[in-house]
Amino acid sequence: MRRLRALQTMKSQRTRLDRFISERDSVSRRAVRMLLAQGRVLVDGERACSINQVVGQFTRVTLDECVLQANQAHYVMLHKPEGVVSATRDIHHRTVLDLLPQPYADTLHIAGRLDFNSSGLLLLTNDGHWSRALSQPDTNLSKTYQVRVEKPLHSRYVEAFAAGIYFSYEDLTTKPAELKILSKFDCQVRLVEGRYHQIKRMFGHFNNRVLRIHRCAVGSLHLDPGLPAGGSRNIASSELDALGIEHHCQAEPHY
């Protein structure tokens, strides 16, 4: 049931105003025209002027001051620990939704997964348009990871990542990635794509096993350093604005 509700929030919920009111208030579509003419319908605080106005998932609609819809968009950052599944439901392990305290957790879905043994910044939302935009190739949104490997790093890693590494299974070369060596076994990797186990496979090109992956940023949005593993908070409107992706946040306070 939880998974079903989460999937439903991802669908594009857009419909014409006359159909929306007819379904919500059991009035004929012809009667809706009269309601609009009488100024009895407000859409996002303004008098509705056309039955063709589009009502989206987060459009506020009132009829005679009776609220027909007032959904709020939620955008959450979670500090995912290792050993937690990036899923809405799992019969064997804790999921990221199990870590969320807010009452609307069941309405959220994951915007960009992390592997079971990876940690760091995970984003959740009930805004399907926003989550889809995050993953679209055209967005070119970078993701930054701290990585620890088994064997010592070398400058040739930096060159290979920047040039792109060939994956024979898909017959493709990865987009250029930035690798900064931090210590003998630690580095920072910044990608603009997210192929299956991409970081592990890129280091696999050198037969170097990845021991730890921690995502510290998605675009300009960095994991809150004060957020403990398993902790979460709402993402501020200013942080969402900096990402440059359309959102419906109304400056919710942190929690």
Rounded CA separation 121/78 (Å): 6
**Tokens read off for 156:** 């040739």
Give the closest residue to 128 by CA, choosing from 86, 174, 74.
74
Q: Compute how many other C-beta atoms are within 10 angstroms of the C-beta atom of residue 108.
A: 26
The first and second tokens of residue 222, run together, are: 């960095």
The set of long-range contacts for 164-171, using a CB threshold of 8 Å and a minimum separation of 24, is: 165/201, 165/202, 165/205, 167/195, 167/201, 170/195
Task: Measure the CA–CA gap between 23 and 213, rounded to whole angstroms.
Answer: 48
Among the options 98, 115, 186, 224, which is catalytic? 115
Q: How far apart are CA 192 and CA 81, in angstroms?
A: 23
Q: Quick one: which of 46, 17, 42, 45 has its CA closest to 29?
A: 17
Q: Name the residue type at position 86.
A: S
Two tokens, residue 9: 């929030």
> Residue 250: what residue type?
Q
What CA–CA distances, in Å, run from 242 to 102, 141, 222, 225?
25, 12, 11, 18
The question of whether 25 is a catalytic residue gets the answer no
Residues tagged active-site: 115
